[in-house]
A and B are shown apart, each in its own frame.
Chain A
Amino acid sequence: MANPKKTVKRHCWSNLFTHWSVAISTIVLFISGFGQMPMYARYGFTKIPGFSWSGNYKITLNLHYAAAIVLIFAVTYHLAVSLMRKEFSLLPRRGDLRESWQIIKAMLGFGKEPESDKYLAEQRIAYLYIAVNVMILLITGIIKVLKNTDFYQPGASFIFWVSNIHNAATFALLFGVFGHLVAFVFKDNRKLLPGIFTGHICCEYAKHRHSKWYCTLDVPETTDQLPAVQGEILTVGD
């Protein structure tokens, strides 16, 4: 039995940067977007001490634009890095739907969990779902920004569709992010959490839950060997 404190590197700092710049900008876009909706005054939220600013469209609009800049930067960075490094482990594969059903069944105690690569089948599906919605929001958002300038005034029905696709994708993404967070309520997934903060997860967990990925790592059998390029072994408190 290996030392449970032994960890394996799962995410490089570039992945952590991508995840958190997308996550934080998206959360700010949700908050400021709902301010644009116009919800906070309608539901009396502005009456809560410290939140009167939330009803100020000037503030929420500027916040939305600022967060959109961060999101556009993060998304192009992510796409470009993935292409240049040829990292496609998050893209869904054939059979992922069936496989994620097996994983869910196994988590509920029925049957054996299939062997997984770096990401579980449902993580790949979640990635695609979130990515598609973010892209829809990005494209419609950019059109909305253009329409707000002096020099571009598209027709009424175009504005109608762009606005309402932006709104619908907001709710679809909210649902996706909610599901993403609920996933960590399940104990089986929770061991992935340290990974998105520190970059490392428990070695033992990686071995049994992501066995296919673990096999590709250059993990030495004993800890006294030099760390390998990918998947170096670290001991907490080292």
Chain B
Amino acid sequence: MAEAGQSGVGAMIDLSKCDGCKNLAVPKCVSVCREKNAANFPQPKEPIPLNFPLGTNEDWSKKKQLTNRLTPYNWTYVQNVKVTEKGKTAEVSIPRRCMHCDNPPCANLCPFGMQTKSQEGPVVIDKDGCLGGAKCRSVCPWQIPQRQAGVGVYMKLAPKYLGGGVMFKCDLCLDRIRKGEVPACVEACPQKAIHFGSKEAMRQLAHQRAQEISGYIYGEKENGGTSTFYVSPVSFKSIHKALMDHEVDGKNGRMGMKPLAENVLDSPEGMAKQMLFAPIAGIFAAGMVAYKTMKGAE
């Protein structure tokens, strides 16, 4: 129940080892992810409705083959960027997917309670109940979940007028984890760049590796803490800049790596504490007023 953010599983992604599988047409982690999840991919029925009144929808079903961004048919992808730091240029390959955050705004803020952080740690979307409002994508610091129109419960209601599809993203192979196996990408990586284990073990491993290569960690503090720890020989400040300049194209499915990315729930959490005092103040004010009335009536 509580503390899911503290216990549970995690991953360490060693960017000093990942070479982006440049010898392959599609990086290994991406291709096994697609194979493993093929049965979970959306199968929309034509014609896919356009949303009233904007006349738009998000349909990736004709671009299933895309592997260079996140889509409903591609839940992990590898970013390749040249990063210049301290006069040296390094090539960095970064496998990207959901970070499985400790206090995930995507799940917390789902208006219909269709996204949850599982006991094991992975954050999962219930594709049978999701209406595709894409709020989870907007509140995620990396805009991870991706929408496919023409599938899901909204098709049974009033598709043109309500909802927009279903959101899809990595679930860290929760079914495999429950069987005691590791996620498909972890197993497939030829460089052994993705480590998997208890979240705390992964955190330690990340710190140990960062020390060895005098590198940097990403994912430990971002969005209030996640269960994915990237370790890189170059700083994430420089990586983020390079990604924003050369990778992010303003369309869905490509994201930066902003250091210390904030959690949208931070400032409301401050207010939640003030909420505790509201009833006390209400009763206090009532006491004053009632006392005055009684005195007045004497």
Q: Does A94 contact B (CB under 8 A)?
A: no
Q: Does A3 contact B (CB under 8 A)?
A: no
Contact (Cβ within 8 A) A62 B267: yes
Chain A, range 100-159, C-beta contacts under 8 Å to B: 142, 145-156, 159
Q: Does B23 contact A (CB under 8 A)?
A: no
In-complex Cβ contact of A160 among B5, B113, B278 (8 A):
B113
By CB atoms of chain B within 10 A, which of A58, A74, A75, A146 has the most? A58
In-complex Cβ contact of B285 among A62, A77, A148 (8 A):
A77
In-complex Cβ contact of B265 among A37, A81, A148, A167 (8 A):
A148
In-complex Cβ contact of B281 among A62, A66, A73, A79 (8 A):
A73
Q: Does B264 contact A (CB under 8 A)?
A: yes
Q: Does B1 contact A (CB under 8 A)?
A: yes
Contact with A along B278-297 (1 / 0, CB 8 A): 11011101110110011011
- How many Å lie between the Cα of A79 and that of B286 in the bound state? 8
Cβ contacts under 8 Å, B264 to chain A: 57-58, 61
Contact (Cβ within 8 A) B271 A66: yes
Q: Does B188 contact A (CB under 8 A)?
A: no
Chain B, range 5-62, C-beta contacts under 8 Å to A: 5, 51-54
Contact with A along B217-247 (1 / 0, CB 8 A): 0000000100000000000000000000000
In-complex Cβ contact of B54 among A44, A146, A167 (8 A):
A44
Cβ contacts under 8 Å, A161 to chain B: 113
Contact (Cβ within 8 A) A61 B286: no
Contact count band on B: 35 or more
Contact (Cβ within 8 A) B1 A84: no
Contact with B along A27-41 (1 / 0, CB 8 A): 000000000111000
CB nearest neighbor in A for B104: A153
Contact (Cβ within 8 A) A57 B139: yes
B278 to chain A, nearest CB (A): 4
Chain B, range 74-107, C-beta contacts under 8 Å to A: 102-103
CB nearest neighbor in A for B291: A84
A12 to chain B, nearest CB (A): 8
In-complex Cβ contact of A145 among B54, B224, B267, B272 (8 A):
B272
Q: Does A98 contact B (CB under 8 A)?
A: no
Contact (Cβ within 8 A) A38 B113: no
Contact (Cβ within 8 A) B274 A153: no
Q: Does A2 contact B (CB under 8 A)?
A: no
Q: Does A97 contact B (CB under 8 A)?
A: no
In-complex Cβ contact of A149 among B112, B269, B286 (8 A):
B269
Contact (Cβ within 8 A) B113 A150: no
By CB atoms of chain A within 10 A, which of B114, B134, B285 has the most? B285
- How many Å lie between the Cα of A83 and that of B139 in the bound state? 42
B32 to chain A, nearest CB (A): 28
Q: Does B4 contact A (CB under 8 A)?
A: yes
A196 to chain B, nearest CB (A): 18
- How many Å lie between the Cα of A61 and that of B110 in the bound state? 12
Contact (Cβ within 8 A) B2 A151: yes
Contact (Cβ within 8 A) B116 A76: no
Q: Does B211 contact A (CB under 8 A)?
A: no
Q: Does B133 contact A (CB under 8 A)?
A: yes
A217 to chain B, nearest CB (A): 15
Contact with B along A59-96 (1 / 0, CB 8 A): 00110011011101111111111001100000000000
Q: A73-B281, A160-B114 are in contact. Are A38 and B133 (CB under 8 A)?
A: yes
- How many Å lie between the Cα of A78 and that of B283 in the bound state? 9
Q: Does B191 contact A (CB under 8 A)?
A: no
By CB atoms of chain B within 10 A, which of A70, A73, A142 has the most? A73
Q: Does A187 contact B (CB under 8 A)?
A: no
> A146-B272, A148-B265 given. 13 additional CB < 8 A pairs?
A14-B289, A73-B285, A74-B282, A80-B283, A148-B103, A150-B102, A150-B269, A153-B4, A155-B1, A155-B116, A161-B113, A163-B113, A167-B112
The 10 closest A-B pairs by CB, nearest first: A76-B282, A80-B286, A84-B290, A163-B113, A160-B113, A77-B282, A72-B278, A76-B279, A159-B113, A81-B286
Sample 6 A-B pairs with CB under 8 A, ordered by A number: A42-B51, A43-B52, A44-B53, A66-B271, A73-B281, A78-B286
